[in-house]
Amino acid sequence: MNHLKEKLIREGRRPYVIAPGGSDSLGTWGYIEAIREIEQQLLIENADVKFDDIVVACGSGGTVAGLSLGSWMSSLKAKVHAFSIYYEPDYLYEIVQGLIDSLEADVASRDIFNIQDAKGLGYAISTSEELKLVKDIAEATGVVLDPVYSGKAAYGLLKDMSENPKKWEGRKILFVHTGGLLGWYGKIEQMGPLVGNWRRMDLP
């Protein structure tokens, strides 16, 4: 990608390389703005809500870096909990620290968020328990999580709540849905037995 960038520059063009997952300073700033939007929504709705924790799935680190910095700098001051679906936590702390440093924020990544492993069997590999949870949440709330990111984060959160109930007791939690519904295309056959009677239709 860098070779292509250099080639385009030599041709007089102005390329911009987007990092994997959008995890660069610009992508990080996007989720700082997301925190600002959350603040505004709470003010507009006069919501008497004070979130103690923000929970989100973590892939390449940009979302977590932005949410953590945004919460740290804002009036929210909520602790961010990232559930990693790919990298080991120690490596992610380093990645996020690099993103924080790129914005010249004087704070250590480990001081403003924590990371827990939620890979399970591996990236984009779902257990029947994880898929069943996603199905149950959709049936109960109408909110459809994806099987690769937000579904694993929700599964990791509920597992941690079960294993460490005191840690979460009485906490008001904001769960950030990061999208990713296209991840369902590879899970149709695996999901079939969990949803009962269904029929697949392949359209031209």
Tokens 């080991």 locate to 88
Residues 6+ apart with CB under 8 A from 156: 83, 116, 117, 118
Provide the pLDDT confidence category of residue 79 given band limits of 50, 70 and 90: very high
Q: At what angle do helices 62-73 and 25-44 cross, to 10 degrees?
A: 50
Query: pTM score > 0.75 for this model?
Result: yes
Predicted confidence (pLDDT) at residue 107 exceeds the cutoff of 90: yes
Higher pLDDT, 101 or 49: 101
For 146-178, write each residue's pLDDT tens digit: 999 999 999 999 999 999 999 999 999 999 999
4: left (phi over 0), alpha (psi -120 to 50) or beta: alpha
- Average pLDDT score over the chain: 90
* CA distance readout (Å), 61 to 54, 92, 95, 115, 189: 15, 7, 7, 10, 30
Taking the domains of the chain in order of start, what are their residue ranges?
Answer: 22-179
Q: What are residue 131's phi and psi, to 5 degrees?
A: -70, -35
Fold for the domain defined by 22-179: Rossmann fold (3.40.50)
